[in-house]
Homo-oligomer: A and B are copies of this chain.
């Protein structure tokens, strides 16, 4: 069995936002996907140890900003390799408060979505949140970043808390 086959699955790159009262946070995710078209719903898989998980559990809302291909690695690193428990990730970042009350991140985004959680599925280390779309906007027509591009061209790495982390792979926290 060669689990590297899982690296061939296709994803985009997203910043997920949520809130708990007036506290805001965001994190990188690669697993955002449409679930149904009628009504329009999307799902996102979030590690239970992440602060954003706590916030989505509390507010039952999340946002997703879809990153363009040329998003700088430090921008991704800010959201992907730091914890909102330790630092204020939103310092110096452009965002607006969406209809859901959660932050919608505007830098390097081709589009953004807002969703209200209708179902939370416990899948062990992660929860899959399924959300009904309440807002969706296109922000640019730039090419979107794929997870493959992030790895192969940008030489980005995967944190241990990601669904797609494979033990022993090159990289890790940076």
Interface-facing stretch out of A39-47, A49-57, A74-82: A39-47
* CB within 8 Å for A43 and B128 given contacts A11-B33, A34-B164, A119-B123: yes
Task: Name the B residues within 8 Å of A119 (CB-CB).
Answer: 121, 123
| Secondary structure dominating the interface of A | strand
Contact B148 A144 (CB under 8 A): yes
Give bound CA distance, A36 to B3, whole Å: 12
Known contacts: A10-B11, A11-B11, A130-B123. The answer to whether A5 contacts B37 by CB under 8 A is no
Question: Would you call A66 an interface residue if the criterion is a C-beta within 8 Å of the partner chain's C-beta atoms?
Answer: yes
Measured between alpha carbons, how far is A9 from B164 in the docked complex, in Å? 17
Q: Do residues B128 and A162 form an inter-chain contact, with CB atoms below 8 A?
A: no
- 1/0 per residue A131-174: CB within 8 Å of B? 00111111000001111100000000000001111110000000
- Assembly CA distance A111 to B167 (angstroms): 19
Q: Does A92 contact B (CB under 8 A)?
A: no
A89 within 8 A of partner (CB) = no
B41 touches A123 (CB 8 A): yes
Instruction: Let me know if A113 is at the binding interface, CB within 8 A.
Output: yes
CB neighbours (8 Å) of A6 from chain B are 34, 40, 42, 113, 133, 136
When distances are taken between beta carbons in the complex, the residues of chain B under 8 Å from A34 are 6, 9, 31, 163-164
Provide the residues of chain B in CB contact with A112, threshold 8 Å. 5
4 smallest beta-carbon distances between A and B, as pairs: A10-B12, A5-B111, A5-B136, A8-B111
Interface residues in chain A, defined as those with a beta carbon under 8 Å from any beta carbon in chain B:
1-6, 8-13, 31-43, 45, 66, 110-113, 119, 121, 123-126, 128, 130, 133-138, 144-148, 162-167
